[in-house]
Structure 1
């Protein structure tokens, strides 16, 4: 007798669901985690102490309005608290944005390849997905603007882009914004903002003035090293922020996460010194790979994109055998997070031993 299953949303049939990749160890037990774009450093002592002091309060619900952290972020950025919305990681805030615009017939435009969550969030929010191919590893803003229709509610610019690390610069962004209808939200996903050293890449906060449709998305997961606690936020026009805030699940940002994020803002100078170390390692790795004949776009994030095409899975397997965990995109490339020097050296050793991409 055939089993009758409950009826659920049909869109779920085509969604793979999030599955973190397995962690591979070398024969000697060595593990290097270079797959998830995390900070290689543990929490600063001051941040760890603040979290430890707060553990005694976890029998109580957190501040559901995230008031103190909202105010700290606004003070740090020079904006108003009513423009800030904090959520469960920047992907959680992105989900809130998608929910805020999602209704039958609405569209979202994004570059592809870009952050893997965008098509999933779009499907869950009932948005029609319009993916615009990259051009030369970068967003094609002209094509993205041309893809906007009367049904487009949201356009995402991931800057720097994940997984390529490439950036869009001020002049092309200004032209793009001039072409976007004023009633269409433009979200600048700046998860890797702190790693940018190209002076021509604008801080998207400078684009907010006079543009109620611009939203800036950031996170504490990368440069601030709080990936395990999940804190992200957006900055937007007060009306947009107020509407998006309505989609936040009650108590979505836990108490320890709020405490850690506030302590991290107080320790920002120390954290930025760590970020500078990552930037130096990023440039060292890329230069070494270029010298060895690899194709690696210039990156302004804490990652490198190895354009390996059909060799992507094979190279990732070679890395795994040495305990180096990377992220493969079959048929396209491999994303390598910038880690501690020893981990980065292990990645380079695999790359130098692997047959050159040009040899295939």
Structure 2
């Protein structure tokens, strides 16, 4: 009685085995043919250069795979290293002296925590880690296919672009409002250069086709932006620059961050609603890790803003909801699935990690909107 069932499973597993065998044969075919040609070719005059080229590509791809998988100094709790709670002075104001301390010979103002965090995030992206999006092998793709359309080796690149988006938005706000007295002062030169450098193409290598010719790679521009931000903070410490910590500037800053993550929420919603490939959705991981990187960046930026605008936050009674928004950001960073699945929201086999991330983004955004409304009263 069980013979038909047994026969069915035998045929099923046999078909699966044949399919796997064909797939492996297809993948190994170029290497087998190359090995046969290499053995049959002439002396080392031919074999030597070919072997050198093969070893070069093996080394390059080995380095590429390593850099995409090694997330150096990745730490969702990186905000704790700054000890913002120990600060006693808002950014740009003269540093408060301890009781009985002698006044310094030169003016000494508080540095901006926002600028420090933005600078460190750039350092994390391009110095502590290799910037993946402009690497030659990443641009070359997987047999001509964009790595973003594959299920592997692209998560770190998406994460870095998400962090970069948070830094870009922060530098724009520093130039437009935070780093100047609106209407009565010019744009700070260091912040202006930092913003310009951060807007550079994320995928530039040493040579390009459009336009044709040599180029300055993306990491060089971002490193310049880091130096510009550090230069601004050094001038701020000497009371030679301005950080305008007014409540209306904080309102605008929160509003821009809210809009930025709102765009990401819409991107995630579109992918979650219109595509239900589950484990086999090769673009879901890009959306997820971009959003994760963006929240990773804004977690530090918002914590720093709490230090730079501490006076405004305390005066307007925002401390509890500000602390809650930071908790929501940190809670979102706990979601680190090994494989991203974009299943149906009512499914029970394949989870929907995009919908989960979208839920956390909306929680963060709702807190930002609430804080903005309180400040605007």
State the TM-score, normalized to the length of structure 1: 0.22
> Which structure: greater helix fraction?
2
> Which structure: greater strand fraction?
1
Higher relative contact order (CA 8 A, sep 6+): 1
Structure (1 or 2) with the larger CA radius of gyration? 2
